Structure 1
Amino acid sequence: MALLGLRITVGQVAALGWHPVLLVIVSMVLTIGVSMIVARLLGFNTLFGLLSGGATAICGASAALALAAALPAHPLKERATLFTVVGVSVLSTTAMIVYPMIARALGLSEHGSGIFLGATIHDVAQVVGAGYGMSKDVGDIATVVKLMRVAMLLPVILFAVMCTRALGKGAGGPRPPLLPWFAVAFAALVAINSTGWLPELVATAGSDFSRWCLVAAIAGIGMKTQLRELATVGLKPVLFMVGETVFLAALALALLRWAS
């Protein structure tokens, strides 16, 4: 997860301007907050709302695995993590196909389409596919907005760890460190990559290696989880994740209309 920092620079974030940055921050905070509240109302663990809401609002499977590492141990944690990874990946692929059609149907400009795609599609690869499928300008804007969402991973991990520390303290167990090592490394790599001193070959190799690590992590969780366990989750968690995705898309469109 730390190697995701090689995909982002401070300059990329600054180049967005304050409107897209504000849209990304508001969307992330509201999506995660509403997800945690609704999860509680539906009878789920509140931290499941944080896990799935974070995956939806930030960067899909990568965010799910990073957040899971910061959350407290639970007998159903691995199953919830794998369910979130599978669910967010399916929804991201669906969004890659559907959201460009929505952008065209609503008559969004290339700038607006890029912000919409980058602010709503879960995984980086699907954002790139959807954006450049519309045009180069849309793809460029969507990719930078998406990287801004990836940058939000650090404060959300910090929030997750604070929740974990509070729960650990209440349960009498040991409290985890305020920031996991991979979160610190993530911030350090963002800072190093922002200096421009890092050779492009090294940054690209690190980014590619992070994808392989992501695949390995998902495979490791999958080996510990049986398919029949996922089949028992029922319809409610599925509808919950679909609802998170729809909420994020509707919120981003509303904020785009407000800002225009």
Structure 2
Amino acid sequence: MITAVKSRWDIHFGGILLVCVIAAAATFLSEHYGAPAMLFALLIGMAFHFLHSDQTFTPGLDFSAKTLLRFGVGLLGLRLSIGDVESIGLGPVAAVAGFVLATLACGVALSFLFGRGLAFGLLAAGSVAICGASAALAIASVLPPKSDREQDTLFVVIGVTALSTIAMIVYPILFATLGMNDLQSGFLLGATIHDVAQVVGAGYSISEDAGVIATFVKMVRVSLLPVVMILVMVSFRGAQSQKVSLPWFLVMFIATAILANAGLVPQVVSGVLTDLSRWCLIIAISALGVKTSLATILRVKPSYGIILVAETLFLLGIAVAFVMGLGL
């Protein structure tokens, strides 16, 4: 067993070391220049994209961008207080479910308009409405087999990753321009950005409070993934029995939030785990930056791009209209 663990560590060591160095550099620059560490991590990581396909680094990059990200998000539950939930209210939380359904309907309509069909509409809209690339892969797994399904999924993953990266940088500026406070900005970031990593990065680039709220709202969207997967399965395959479960990091987020609010986590332990969560997230964003290829993003088919951009703008529009109309 020890030999197996050592072997896995050796495989992942190069990539993990690389992104840890990038994360440390990003933190240093953030502390000295006042800009968000997440943004520095993303930009520095992108400068090292040429290493992403080197097998010395690839396993560690994948581990950091996926497993460490999810672990860090799961630990964020320690920072979610009942007061945070009450500050949002049940109405906005229910509205997030409405945003998801509306985006799904918009995506299906756009897909038929461009001659892509129901399957692609659900694939693209689900990725935009819920959690980006992760949702795209999950939904693709329950769609009926088709010769170009893998290609469709690849383009959707590339597209939503690109849009999420752009949103991570642009949305905080947009919401500040609109005069949004931390609560409003956090809600909107969690309700509109596709991938979990970029939601966390964008939220914490505004403030700690905005980061926590954004993560909570994003977890509400992620929790709807099994529901959407069941709808897809029923639509295409009938009510066949397939295992559909909540993502483990969502379960972890809920569990840590319950433990923290019940007073079962000592303050010292909570502080250590909170710092660990922050480092995991910065490291994950660094890995995401290394894995991001602008050249690949530019090769997305125009029709795919139009559908994904339209869905993204639709989701942004209804979320902003809701917040401005409600006065959250």
On whether the aligned pair clears a TM of 0.5, the verdict is: yes
For 2:172 and 2:253, the matched residues in 1 are separated by: 34
* Partner residue of 2:217 out of 126, 131, 145: 145
Mapped contact 2:223–2:246 kept (Cα < 8 A): no
The residue that corresponds to 2:161 in the other structure is 89
* Partner residue of 1:108 out of 161, 180, 196: 180
3-state secondary structure, aligned to 1:19: helix
The residue that corresponds to 2:314 in the other structure is 247
The AA in structure 2 aligned to 1:245 is: T
The residue that corresponds to 1:119 in the other structure is 191
For 2:94 and 2:142, the matched residues in 1 are separated by: 26
The CA deviation at 1:192 is 10
For 2:245 and 2:209, the matched residues in 1 are separated by: 33
The yes-or-no answer on 1:35 pairing with 2:107 is yes
The CA deviation at 1:239 is 1.0
The CA deviation at 1:101 is 0.9
Alpha carbons of 1:111 and 1:151: their partners in 2 closer, same or farther (altered >3 Å)?
Answer: same
The CA deviation at 1:165 is 1.5
Length-normalised TM-score, structure 2: 0.60
The CA deviation at 1:244 is 0.8
3-state secondary structure, aligned to 1:108: coil
Within a 5 Å distance, the mapping from 1:62-73 to structure 2 comes to: 62-73=134-145
Alpha carbons of 1:67 and 1:110: their partners in 2 closer, same or farther (altered >3 Å)?
Answer: same
The residue that corresponds to 1:222 in the other structure is none
The AA in structure 1 aligned to 2:182 is: E
The AA in structure 2 aligned to 1:190 is: V
Alpha carbons of 1:189 and 1:149: their partners in 2 closer, same or farther (altered >3 Å)?
Answer: closer
* Partner residue of 1:184 out of 245, 250, 264: 245
The CA deviation at 1:138 is 1.1
Alpha carbons of 1:44 and 1:133: their partners in 2 closer, same or farther (altered >3 Å)?
Answer: same
Mapped contact 2:70–2:249 kept (Cα < 8 A): no
The AA in structure 2 aligned to 1:137 is: D
For the aligned residues, what is the CA RMSD? 3.5
3-state secondary structure, aligned to 1:70: coil
Mapped contact 2:203–2:212 kept (Cα < 8 A): yes
Within a 5 Å distance, the mapping from 1:1-260 to structure 2 comes to: 7=74, 15=85, 16-166=88-238, 176-177=240-241, 180-181=242-243, 183-184=244-245, 186=247, 190=251, 194=255, 196=259, 234-260=301-327
Mapped contact 1:40–1:46 kept (Cα < 8 A): yes
For 1:67 and 1:82, the matched residues in 2 are separated by: 13
Provide structure 2 residue ranges, at least 5 long, that are not aligned to the other structure.
Answer: 1-65
For 1:64 and 1:116, the matched residues in 2 are separated by: 21
For 2:96 and 2:245, the matched residues in 1 are separated by: 22
The residue that corresponds to 2:6 in the other structure is none
Runs of 4+ with >6 A deviation: 3-6, 11-14
The CA deviation at 1:65 is 0.6
Mapped contact 1:96–1:127 kept (Cα < 8 A): yes
Length-normalised TM-score, structure 1: 0.75
The CA deviation at 1:164 is 1.9
The AA in structure 1 aligned to 2:251 is: V
3-state secondary structure, aligned to 2:144: coil
The AA in structure 2 aligned to 1:154 is: P
The residue that corresponds to 2:57 in the other structure is none
Mapped contact 2:131–2:194 kept (Cα < 8 A): yes
Q: What is the percent sequence identity of the aligned residues?
A: 39
The AA in structure 2 aligned to 1:249 is: L
The CA deviation at 1:176 is 4.0
The CA deviation at 1:58 is 0.6
For 2:153 and 2:132, the matched residues in 1 are separated by: 11
